[in-house]
Amino acid sequence: MKLANVDGRAALVLGDQIADVATASRGRFGSDPMALYDRWDELRAFATTVTAPTGPLVESALRNPVPRPRQVFAIGLNYRRHAEETGAALPEVPAVFTKFPASLAGPFDDIVVEGPSVDWEVELVAVIGRTADRVPRTDAWSHVAGVTIGQDISDRHLQFAAGAQFSLGKSRRGYGPMGPWIVTPDELGNADDLALGCSVNGDTMQDARTTDLVFDVPGLVAELSAVLPLLPGDVIFTGTPAGVGVARQPPRFLRPGDTLESWIEGVGRIRNLVVDGR
């Protein structure tokens, strides 16, 4: 199942068409995508009965499929080759920060650069579909509603100001594009081995597989839920692979006019135009 946010309304994606969830269910489910994560199992069962679309899929109408998560977890240094390129040792426990929820954005929204050191970080984002409290890794995927593409856009200057403030440096408005939709794990083949990457103006900058993760999705659900409960609709930005701009020689950052495209195997693509905020 693929669940999208179409102009603020939850919709199932059926090929190149959509079925509006509230319309197709005759009001059994509401239109707010966020409310559906609390009824995920019920929605999954309902979705299997939906075959008739209610309209075409229009890319420009797609918004963030998880617009108001209660908790946003983000993981640093979680790909082996990315840890190498930064010169940091592999963490023994996940390196966790947050992106404040108001920084999240849609899959085709513009990225406003307000300085010279704004960087890309393509990431697999896992969305919680069932409250996860002390969940062992063997049971972890059953608590995940699905995955989507995220860009953990990072203002490197702000991130490393005042010592280090990852959460603020990665939370400028619009610095968390997500989408284009949520894909349930059953549609992914091997959900623990997905290709992901991103390009700037067509030049590939990141190109990796999630098998390079230090803590994979089940590992993160287990580690995080051992500390606190994960709630339906919470998102986990699972970390970025090698190829970020700050680690390149010479460094390369996002500039107005750039087009950032990001992809994950089995999920799709998102695209963001970089614009000048000054």
Q: How many chain residues are in contact with Zn ion, going by CB under 5 A?
A: 3
CB of 180 to Zn ion, least distance (A): 19
Q: Token pair of 80, please?
A: 């082996």
Side chain identity at 124, as an amino acid letter? L
60 C-beta neighbours (distance < 10 Å), count = 7
Contact pick of 117, 238, 240, 272 for Zn ion (by CB under 5 A): 240
Which pairing describes strands 104-105 and 176-183: parallel, antiparallel, or unpaired? Answer: parallel
Asked if 152 touches Zn ion (CB under 5 A), the answer is yes
- Scanning 115-123, 131-139, 176-184, 190-198 for contacts with Zn ion by CB under 5 A, the matching segment is 115-123
CA distance 270 to 158: 25
CB of 126 to Zn ion, least distance (A): 13
Q: Which residue is nearest to Zn ion (CB)?
A: 152
**Which residue blocks in 123-203 are alpha helix, DSSP H?**
156-159, 166-169
CA distance 195 to 210: 7
Asked if 155 touches Zn ion (CB under 5 A), the answer is no
Helix (H) or strand (E) holding 270: strand 268-276
Asked if 121 touches Zn ion (CB under 5 A), the answer is yes
- Scanning 49-57, 121-129, 248-256, 269-277 for contacts with Zn ion by CB under 5 A, the matching segment is 121-129
CB of 27 to Zn ion, least distance (A): 39
Q: Which residues form the interface with Zn ion (CB under 5 A)?
A: 121, 152, 240
